[in-house]
Each structure stands twice: as structure tokens, then as C-alpha cells.
Amino acid sequence: MEKISVKIKKKLAFCLIATLLLGVFLIGRLIYIEIFDAGFLQPLAYEQQSRDRLISPVRGSILDRNNVGIAVTESVCSVSAVPVQVIDKEETATYLCGVLDLEYDDTMEKLSKNVALVRLKSKVDMDTAQQIREKMLPGINVDEDVKRVYPFKNLAAQVIGFSGKDNQGVTGLEAKYDSYLAGKPGKILTVTDSRGVKISDEQRRIPPENGYNIVTTIDASVQRYAEQTISKAVEAKEAKRGIIIVLNPQNGEIYAMANYPDFDLNEPFKINSPELEAAWDTMTEKEKNDALNQMWRNTAINDTYEPGSTFKIVTSATGLETKAVKVDDTFTCNGYYTVGDRMIKCWRYPRTHGHETFVQGVQNSCNPVFMAVAQRIGAETFYEYMIKFGFMSKTGVDLPGEAVGIVHKLENIGPVELATMSFGQSFQITPLQLLRAASAIVNGGNLVTPHFAKYVTGEDGEIIHEFEYEKGEQVISKETSDTMRMILESVVSVGSGKKAYIPGYRLGGKTATSEKLPRKSGKYIASFMSFAPAENPQVMAIVLIDEPKGVYYGGTVAGPVMKELMENILPYFGVEPVYNEQEQEMDETKTSVVPDITGLDIKEAKKAIEDCGLTYFINGEGNTVLGQFPLTGTEVNYKSSIILTVGE
């Protein structure tokens, strides 16, 4: 045996060690790829080997307070193609164009594309989808899909908002609560080779996670009634737009928020104005976007206005709370009030209100009384209460894009500014900010958070999350609040708000006529804020009519609208009329019970309503009554109007 030299031994040992080291490195690398890098590489392998088709989750519903679906999701299907698997492209294209109403050239182009998967049509109804499925066309997939539907079309359009094609909330509550509503998509995985050819029939289905529902404070019946009332008023007064908000002043729950003109949530990109629609093709993209944004805008919270005389309730409450004024203090109105070298007129100028108590001053809405009270309060304290009543901050309403008041800085409030602010001029707030302050004034003094969301619920209606809203800071004492309710009731029973007086109901409220800027342009906003019952308010509402033609006074224009609204919603909320002796003798106190007319032919329904001494208002087109408001059995005032929703 040949003796191996030391030199060779050394070489062998080196080789052995080198091989071992290389081996260890390779195994290590393999382990690294398999284990540590798997998260990165596996999806890439899937991408190569499969064509995932997404399964849309069911977007949660937006429900009213009685679980009526305002935004719901319907099951539909989507049809897609795997071009390499389609055997007879012409035949397939011809068939699909027929059933899906597609363009032939377009479809052929898609079927000839060198891509793994191409979508042909989404939101296909279930019957059509089933028809295509039964054909078993090679390379054509029919998958479950969903479609957002708004069954009441225009109902609360600017509040509910709409969602886009990709199941994403775009505006309103749809956008605000998207994280609850959206859910998570699932997938259908098909294993294919690198050319996109299916290897096996085996499909792996990862189910979607459906979204949660949002139960809101909206009452669909009250919302519809508010919309009907404001649309009639806007049309009658040829106004630019109108708003009605109805809420519970005790806890901030919003029952209705109506903006008119509105739009159909099922077609949010269709402009709602005939003039703009006619000019649509000549408009630039920017002009179109601006017009759509304007249509989607919720002016009750997104825009500010000069509140005018409804703001006098804030000046009054501040004056009483700070003891700057007492209810029986006396004032004299000469038709104007002098501040420094300025003469600021009462609305009654050149006539006067003469001698009046503070309460009579509020009933008369006499500007000099409020200017005098504000002067006694002083700019600093007045400003402090504007902050306390929430005019410098958002109300916190759960909708996107809320605006905030535009108010002078304290150092810029001189005697003239203070005087004009006392009756609601020279600053701007949102209608909802005014209602929040008014709620505090009548509910015992607490600044509530106006809101829509009550609960998040699961598929079976189980409560998953309850939204909580704090009672809010105490702005004024209970005593001041009690006094304010009494004064504001007298405004409606004997004062400037008496056009909203309803026999049997203790309503409180305040009118306003705000001149829009620039002044002397002849453009006004007529408004009316009201609440009932005065002794323990459960319902508060504001009516705003923007740029009415002809008569523009708040009391005259918005008063009757408020009366019509309250007359119908108070019985619905279970607020019973209590007549005094004088009222019992009036014809207006007669009541009637709403008959059951849902399902009837329109002619029979009209007769049944007239037989009960009531009137009607028809909503929609068709011969059958699909719904009614108020509901059957509700006791309403004689000659009240019943809204009939009709269809075929």
C-alpha cells in the first residue's frame, strides 16, 4: 500500500471541509427560502399558477331606527373569461352579446386578449347568470357578486351617500362607516400552468367576510315626510333649495335630514337639473365634477349661513343666564338703536314696538331689545357663550365634511359688531350648529352631539357595537332653560311665530329672515326653528328655504311649512294634543283616523281618504298604493294630508 503523503492528506482534509461548508450553506439557504422567505415567494407562485377571481363581500346595510333598509346589498353575478380556454370565440361572443347586451367587437377583443382573466360584465342579475351557467361555455366563469341598491332612491340621499364600483363608500354615511360596512373580499383560486391553462378542475374557495350593518337614528317615515314637505315648499316658492332637520333635543338623535333638490342614489352620476342635463355634453370635466359635488352636498352641515333672528334665542339665553336681563325688564323700541354714531334699525322701522317687556321683545323679535341685552352682556361674555354653545366647533355629527362657524375674533368685536351679532348677523354658522345650541337651550342646558349611528349589527341583527354619545357640557342652568321654553312657546302662541301654531300642541319656536350676502341683492333665507311639546321637548326641527321668490319673511314662508311638518309628525311620535277650552270650540281641533289604504287601487284610496275628511299627496307614478304616511290608525288633524307612495 502506497503511503499517502502528509501533503495529500492536507489537501483531502481541505476538500472535505470545503464540501461540508458548501453543503451547510446550501441547506441553510434552502431552509431560509422555505421557511423565512415563504411569505414573500408563495403569493408569487400562486400568481403564476392560478388566476384568482375575487368574490365581493356582502356590504352591510344602512338601516333606519326600525330596521328598514335604506342602503342594502343584492346578490348578482359577474361574468368573466379565461381567453386561452375559450374554444370558439365567435360563437361565445355572439351568445354573450345577446344575453348580456354587450358590443360584439368589444367582446371579441377581450376574448382575444393575451391575459389570464378578463371581466366581461358585472352586476348581472341572477336569472341571466343561471342561463349562462347552464350553457357551460368553456373558459367562461359566472361568479357570485353583489350590487348596492337604494330601495327608496332619493331618500336621505345627501345623508346616506353612495358607494363606488369597488365597494368603497364615496360620500355620506357610506363613506363615514365604510370600515364597518365594507367587509373583506374572498377568492376563488384556480390552479393553472404558466400559460394560464387550467391544470385541474379543483377550485379553492376562500369565502368573503361580509360587512356589518349600521342601524341609524333616521326614521324613514319622518324622513320621507320631511322631504315631501320641503320639496312642495321649494317648488311653491320657486326657491333655490330647502332643508329640514328633525332631531331629538334630549339626546341628539337625528330623525330626518332632508335636502331638496335631491338625487337618486342608484344613479348618483346623473345630474338632477334639466338645464344642466341638457348642457352636459358641452361641459368640461371640471364643470361636471363641480355640478355633481354640488348635488351631493349636504347643505345642512357642509355650508354656513347667517342665522338671523333664530339666533336671538342664544342672545336671550345668555342674557338670562348671566343675569344681564330678567323676563320682566322693560325696553323701548323707537324703530332703531343707536350704537356710537351708528343707527341700527329694528325690522319694524320706520314703525316702532314702543314699550315692551323682555318677553314681549322676544315675541316681537324686536332688534333694539337684543342689541341692548348684548350690550349689557358685554363682548367678552357674549363671545364666551358663543364658544360654550358650540359655534366655534364642529357639532361632531357623524358625516364627512362638516363646516364650522365663521365668527369675528374677540378683539374685532366692537360695539357695532356686538349689536349686529345679537340678532344673528355678521357671522355664519351651519343649520345643525344652530339646532345643537337650540337643543341645549330647551333640554335643561346640555350640549348634545347630533348623530345618526346607533348600533353596528351582524348578519342576524345581533348588536356588535353600540355608539355612545356623551350628554355634553352644561351650558346654561335648568332654570334658564325652563324660562326659555316658556318664552319660546309664547312666540308661537302669540308672537311672530304664530303661523306655526297648531291647536292642542304646545309648540315653541323662533322665525328668521336672513338677508344673504352681498346685502341689497334681494336674496333671503326664510327659516323657522321649532320644538314640541314645550314643557318637555321630544322633537325639534328647523325649516330653511333658500332664496324664496315673492314674500320671503320667515314666519310667512317657513311658518306654515313647519306647521304642516309638526302637525303630522307629532302624532306619529305619540305626542297627543291637549286642547284648551278655546281650542275645543275651533273647527281645526277636529281629528280623523288615517284609513288603511296600502295595497288599494289609487281611485279607491283617494275616496277612502276624502271620506275621512283628509287630503292626499301622491308620490311616484302608478295605479297601486305601495305605502302611506302617516300609518293606518294614526289620529291626525282634520284635512291633514296623507302621502301616498304609488307604483304599478
Cβ neighbours of residue 535 under 8 Å, at least 6 residues apart? 485, 506
Our finding on whether 485 is near Zn ion (CB under 5 A) is no
In the complex with Zn ion, which residue's Cβ is closer, 216 or 490? 490
Q: Is 481 a catalytic residue?
A: no
- Closest listed residue to residue 308, CA positions, set 422, 192, 142: 422
Rg (alpha carbons) of the chain, rounded to whole number? 34
Convert residues 306-345 into a mask of x (bound to Zn ion by CB under 5 A) and - (unbound). ---------------------------x------------
Task: For the beta carbon of residue 530, count every other beta carbon within 10 angstroms.
Answer: 30
User: What part of residues 358-417 is at the interface with Zn ion (CB under 5 A)?
Assistant: 366
Q: Which stretch binds Zn ion (CB under 5 A): 203-211, 352-360, 433-441, 480-488?
A: 352-360
Q: How far is the CB of 378 from Zn ion (least distance, A)?
A: 22
Cell of 296: 351631493
Cβ–Cβ under 8 Å, residues 440 and 447: yes
Among 190-198, 265-273, 347-355, 435-443, which window interacts with Zn ion (CB under 5 A)? 347-355
Residue 330: strand, helix, or coil: strand
Tell whether the torsion through CA atoms of 591, 596, 602 and 608 is positive or negative: negative
The sign of the torsion formed by the CA atoms of 486, 489, 490, 496 equals positive
Q: Please state at what angle helix 367-377 crosses helix 379-388, rounded to 10 degrees.
A: 100
* Residue in this structure with the C-alpha cell 314645550, named with its chain if needed: 534
- Contact criterion met (CB below 8 Å) for 171 and 401: no
Residue whose CB is less far from Zn ion, 346 or 397: 346
The 198-206 sheet, strands edge to edge = 53-55, 186-192, 198-206
Compare residues 224 and 353 and give the one whose CB is closer to Zn ion: 353
58 vs 346, beta carbon nearer Zn ion: 346
Minimum Å distance from CB 377 to Zn ion?
19
For residues 346 and 419, which CB has a smaller minimum distance to Zn ion in the complex?
346
Binding Zn ion (rule: CB under 5 A), the pick from 353, 498, 510, 606 is 353
At closest approach, how far in Å is the CB of 367 from Zn ion?
6
* Vertex 15: Cα angle to 14 and 20 (nearest 5): 100
Closer residue to Zn ion, CB minimum distance, 322 or 364: 364
Query: 96: helix, coil or strand?
Result: helix
In the complex with Zn ion, the residue whose CB is nearer, 353 or 498, is: 353
To the nearest whole angstrom, how small is the minimum distance from the Cβ of residue 347 to Zn ion? Answer: 7
Of the candidate residues 72, 265, 271, 346, the single one contacting Zn ion (CB under 5 A): 346
C-alpha cell at 355: 314699550
Closer by beta carbon to Zn ion, 240 or else 348 = 348
**Distances 551 to 300, 501, 554, 558, 572 between C-alpha atoms, Å:** 23, 20, 9, 11, 31
Shortest Cβ 331–Zn ion spacing (Å): 9
Touching Zn ion, residues 143-202 (CB under 5 A): none
From the CB of 374, what's the least distance to Zn ion, in Å?
A: 15
Q: In this structure, what are the phi and psi dihedrals at residue 174, rounded to the nearest 5 degrees?
A: -60, -40
The site for Zn ion, by CB under 5 A, has a size of 5
- The C-alpha cell at 267 is 344613479
Q: Are 241 and 527 in contact (CB under 8 A)?
A: no
End-to-end CA distance of the chain: 110
Q: How far is the CB of 352 from Zn ion (least distance, A)?
A: 6
Nearest approach in angstroms of CB 494 to Zn ion is 16
Catalytic entry in 309, 496, 527, 530: 309
140: amino acid identity, one letter: I
Nearer to Zn ion, 368 or 577 (CB): 368
638's CB contacts (< 8 A; 6+ apart) are 587, 588, 590, 591, 592, 613, 614
**Residue 366 CB, nearest approach to Zn ion (Å):** 3
State how far the Cα of 52 lies from the Cα of 82, in Å rounded to an integer. 11
Do residues 487 and 316 touch, judged by C-beta distance below 8 A? yes
Contacts of residue 239, Cβ cutoff 8 Å, sequence gap at least 6: 233, 545, 546, 547, 548, 549
Torsional sign, CA 229, 232, 235, 238: negative
Catalytic residues: 309
Q: Which residues bind Zn ion (CB under 5 A)?
A: 333, 346, 348, 353, 366
